[in-house]
Amino acid sequence: MVRGLRGLSLTAAGTAAGAALIALPVAASALTGPDPGSGPSDEQGVQPGAPSWAPFVPPAPRPASPPAVPTLPPVPQVPPAPSPWGRSQPKETGYTAYVALAGSGRVARVDVATHTVTSTAIRADTAEGVAVTPDARKVYVAVTGQYQVMAVDAASLRTTPIVVGAFPQDVAVSPDGAQAYAAVTGGDTGDGGSSAVAVIDTRTDTVTRRIDVGAAPRRVAFAPDGGHAYVATARGLVVIDTAKGTVTGRVAGIPDAQGVAVGPDGDRVYATQPDANLLYVVDAANRKVTRKVKAGAEPWAVTATSDGRKVYVADMNSDSVGVYDATGRKHLGDVPVGRLPASVEAAPDGSEVWAGNDMTGTVSVIDTGDDKVTTTIRGGARNETLGASPLDIAFVRNP
């Protein structure tokens, strides 16, 4: 199913045509001129002198034809190795966030305490997904335009490309840091579609297994104990047993899923269906939908707070983030953010939720105490708001 929003396609099928445009942010970046909604108060919570991204760097010109599809190497079926990050963590010294900026071909590193961008040195063509190992040493980036996931040493920025397949849209690291799962979306449900999740050994940065999950895997979320992974696909929500590396079930009643998140105790899973404007609440133990909630327009991404009390949904075409109690029974309100929020992620301490605004090119920081935007991290200059497209956010505790 190729879905559009506000007349712009967000599927990876658009990548394979013409100038190899990937998804909404790249299509949008072809527009010129200032954001018609821009102005001194176009976004809630923006204060004079608000922290900014590094100076905007336009993406390199696209080739006239789509990249040749590389031949995927044979994959040995290797069982998961013990985690190299199984040791205890050092005393907490704060958090860092990594933000995938698909429009500018970079990944931003942000100090969470000050909301200050400290680097945009990681370069990645159409970076749509980002994840980081628990020890903060490696960053994984889903490089949708290059059929790759990039493994980046966070200290040296040395990069290892890992060929995973056509148009990976997301990457997630397991709680123990031993594996990274890449959603190889392909051409969505049209020509060139994919059905694979590529499993990457984070010690060797090689693909050890490919798991068939069904048409167009889009987003991946691990259970807190790492025993299961949940994959949002064009055919619904799929459950993977991570020890076996096999699909062990599908959640009935969800025909099409885009966003996915797992509650802090692993007892609930949340999924969004943008075309139907729905949020699903799933009982993880019996894999059944317990509640189907009417959300805002085009609910895209979803996250749950670490205290297990609230769920936040990025409603793209509402230009807002919906707030619900963990059971989905109460709609607690809507937080106005920037234009087309496409990503949302709760900070590990539960005090903030960050929403990446695709069209505005900013990140809205929401205080979870009163559900108001307290500051806005800007992307690009005022007349270049389409340049950033923050499509994914990953937090990690500082070593």
CA distance 226 to 223: 5
CA distance 216 to 234: 5
Read off the pLDDT of residues 4-25 as tens digits, 9 standing for 90 and up.
443 333 433 333 333 333 333 3
* Residues 305, 350 contacting (CB under 8 angstroms): yes
CA distance 49 to 35: 20
Q: What is the pTM of this model?
A: 0.81
Alpha-helical runs (H) found in the chain = 23-28
CA distance 116 to 52: 7
**Is the pLDDT at 44 greater than 90, yes or no?**
no
Read off the pLDDT of residues 290-343 as tens digits, 9 standing for 90 and up.
999 999 999 999 999 999 999 999 999 999 999 999 999 999 999 999 999 999
Read off the pLDDT of residues 109-145 as tens digits, 9 standing for 90 and up.
999 999 999 999 999 989 999 999 999 999 999 999 8
